[in-house]
Every structure is written in structure tokens, then in C-alpha cells.
Amino acid sequence: MTEQHGKILFSYGHGYSAQALARRLVPQGWTIYGTTRSTDKTDRHWADGITPLVIGADDLTAPLSRASHLLISAGPDAEGDPFLRNHRAEITARAPHLTWAGYLSTTGVYGDHGGDWVDETTPLSPSTRRGKCRVAAEADWQTIRDLPLHIFRLAGIYGPTRGPFAKVRNGTARRIIKDGQVFSRIHVEDIAQVLEASIQAPRAGGIYNLCDDDPAPPQDVIGHAAELLGLPLPPAEAFETAKMTPMARSFYAESKRVRNDLIKRELGIQLLYPTYRDGLRALLDAETTAEES
């Protein structure tokens, strides 16, 4: 495919959310370079119009030098953002020539608010190691002069292959009950439409929360999935005594409701799936259609 000027996206950490964006951009004539750590480039289901680049094996400098847009999806590690650590000079050199750069962060940067509401102006006070790493990475990206940076703070992501139905069906779903616990979440297709809208109407320095309209306790989501499937409600387990991995338990360390007014007001977003009920129903319908076809 011939590269079109102004439609070249360099996607670092071309995973679940980035692939959803790519499905929107490729039909519009975009060229997308996506990084992967896998040497088998076929196991990521690379679509036409996307060129896979293996980190540590392929040259990233040349495609980065041609990019008009930059998307960073890979998370930071204990030493900071790996992309900046290894390619700061190239990114800095390219920054004045980029039209848009997007960094996918997390609503975990806000920390615990006991179920209260937060928005983009809420001070950052993460209580988990992951959240603290994200705050540091956001700040590091903001130091790149002339970079048209947009930060997107994502709530819990779900969508095709990332819904609760499989666990409900095989009996491994758990309804962990912690008093007052509430999460915000976002369907991957709504992430993609927000990113596309921002690309079309960039505002350098913009920070946006990406979540739906209905923060809810996690056990309610599992319960609704069981109801949709016509299966018994998974038994409730008290958080205090439930057997969980440290990673799983850490997700319950913070409780908050996240506001999404800014993406609606500034980017004109109308959510495709404004509640988890809408999203789960659509996922199940898509499964049924796929089985019948």
C-alpha cells in the first residue's frame, strides 16, 4: 500500500486497543506500523495495511521518521517507559513534525476515592505500584518539547474475547464482594472511536478520561452476564476471605467513579456502549451471529 502523507501511524505496543483503532483507520487509507515482541508476526492477526515490527529485531527508526501520528499503548516498567528509554532521541527529533501523539494511560493514576467521582482535574494520587508508574510515564512524555501529546486515561477495558462469558460458562467466574467497591469500564470500540475523534480534532496537551456512563460493582457485571446466558448466579465471596493472587487483590485497592463529560463535550462522542449492559448484550449477540454463520 502506498503511504499517504499525513496518514502514517506508528503504534508502539500494537495490542488490543490499538488494533481496534487500526480497524477504523486502515479502510481510510492509513499506513500503520505496529510493534510486537513476537517473532511470529502471524500470531497477532495482522491485517492488511499494518506492517508489524519486532522490537529488538526490526528497525524502528525509519518508520518512526516517516510517521505523522504516534500511538503509545505499551505500559511502563520499573525503569520507566521503554519506548522513551530506547528511542527518546528519535522521538524528540520527530516531535515537531507529528500531527498527533496519543499516550494510553489508566484511571489508576487518580488512586482511591472511596467510590466518589473523579474527572481530569482531580489530583493524581495513585496507591498502587502500577498507578505510580503510569503517573511517572505521563510526566516523562510531557517533557518532550513540541510533541502534540494527548493523554487518554482508560478505565477497565472489555470487548470481544475480553468479556466475562467464558468464565461464567465454565464455572470459574467469581462474584467478589467488597463493601462500597465500584469500578468504571470502557468497551474497546469506544476507545477506538475516541482516539479517532481526537486524531480528527487534535488539541495538544489534552487529557481525557475514557469510560462509560455507568460505574458499577464488579459483581453486578458478572451477575448480569450470568443472567444473559440463563445460567446460575456465581456464588458470592467476601473480599476479605477470598483466595486471590496479589495482582487480582490489588485491583480492589481503589474504588472510584470516573466522569467522561470531556470526551462528549470536546470530541462530540456518543458512546456506542454507554453501560456494561449494552456492551455485554452486544458481545453475546456477536457470539451468536458468529456461531450461526
pLDDT in tens, 156-169: 999 999 999 999 99
Cβ 266 vs Cβ 203: under 8 Å: yes
Residue among 157, 177, 283, 273 nearest 228 (CA): 283
**What's the rounded Cα separation, in Å, for the pair 51 and 88?**
22
CATH class of this structure's domain 8-158+186-212+256-272: alpha beta
Prediction pTM value: 0.95
Query: Distance (Å, rounded) from C-alpha 269 to C-alpha 170?
Result: 36
Q: Where are the domains of the chain?
A: 8-158+186-212+256-272
In a 13 Å sphere around the CA of 135, the CA atoms on its Cβ side amount to: 15
Q: Angle 218-229/276-292 helices, nearest 10 degrees?
A: 30
Tell me the C-alpha distance between 136 and 51, whole Å.
30
Q: What is the pLDDT of residues 25-76, one digit of tens each?
A: 999 999 999 998 876 755 555 566 799 999 988 999 999 999 999 999 999 9
